[in-house]
Amino acid sequence: MSVTLTVSPEIFPIAGAFTISRGSRTEARVVTVTLTDGLHVGRGECVPYARYGETVEGVVEAIAALSEEIAGGLDRIGLQSRLEPGAARNALDCAFWDLEAKRAGSPVWQIAGLGEPKPLQTTFTLSLGTPESMREAAEREAGRPLLKVKLGGEGDIERIEAVRSGAPQSAIIVDANEGWTLDQYKALAPVFLKLGVTLVEQPFPAGSDDALLGLERVLPVCADESCHDRHSLDALKGKYDAVNIKLDKTGGLTEALLMRDAALGAGFEIMIGCMVGTSLAMAPAFLVGQGAAFVDLDGPLLLAKDRDAAIVYDGSTMHVPPAALWG
């Protein structure tokens, strides 16, 4: 049965602004893929990321170029070698999974041979800002068990002191987004440990993380920008304690599940992360997050408006995605 592809860009407003060390934005620009055989519909979403040279227009074009191949029988397995890991393959891969589940009348987790998923506890991300603004944000979210804090280098101690003051009971992980130097790590890590920080994501620029070799990592380090798919893992050994798996980096759920198994086998802890996207992007990642040490799937919580049939978040508890949404 021939499959028809539709691909379109969409914009979802962010509640306020989302700021990291690379800049600030007020909307999430996503790409939505729909696959239909005339009876069943599968959907997927990706978030192109300029850090990896991606644009919404380029991703739409790359996906649309496969329309005839998909109509001619290109499937999820063939897709893995047809597109490189990245946002375009992610949206298509997840749409293929959804279509397969709809055709089979069975959830993706069963088709993939996984255990039945359970609710997850996710982080909540605090944007980079002044210590005063971050304290206020922490006070608003002080009831959450785990906060993820965006940092930017100079002034980071004051920022974490402010967050700890605003949310004295919450555990904290920090994301430097490649913004630190080796000397900053050495100075910040012991202070952050005393303030209850348990992990730092990507302190150094990708490609410059050999500095982590031989370093006494008193504050555990998680790879993000240095980590894309299974082929990234060998270069991370001895440098990182954990890896952040994002479907927009792996190129979809198919590779993400394989990467999770490979990373665990190599001794890494797992974080399942996301870009700022809708519940449609979080739903497949939810399956990868089962059993992860850190779950960072709060994208919809940062939006002013989510999709219909969205995932229910009860505080920081992320419930099983509804079948009407995906999978």
Residues with a known catalytic role: 150, 246
Phi/psi at 50 (5° precision): -60, -30
Question: SS3 for 263?
Answer: helix
Mapping DSSP onto H, E and C, the string for 133-168 reads HHHHHHHHCCCCCEEEEECCCCCHHHHHHHHHHHCC
User: Is 87 within 8 Å of 49 (Cβ atoms)?
Assistant: yes
CA angle 182, 171, 304 (to 5 degrees): 95
Distance separating alpha carbons of residues 319 and 304, to the nearest angstrom: 19
Distance separating alpha carbons of residues 61 and 74, to the nearest angstrom: 17
Distance separating alpha carbons of residues 313 and 301, to the nearest angstrom: 8
Strand arrangement, sheet containing 4-20 = 4-20, 23-36, 41-46
Q: Annotate 190-213 with DSSP letters as a single string.
A: HHHHHTTEEEEE--S-TT-GGGGT
- DSSP letter, residue 312: P
What single-letter amino acid sits at 89?
A: R
Distance separating alpha carbons of residues 35 and 272, to the nearest angstrom: 26
Distance separating alpha carbons of residues 79 and 62, to the nearest angstrom: 12
Pairing of strands 317-318, 120-121: antiparallel
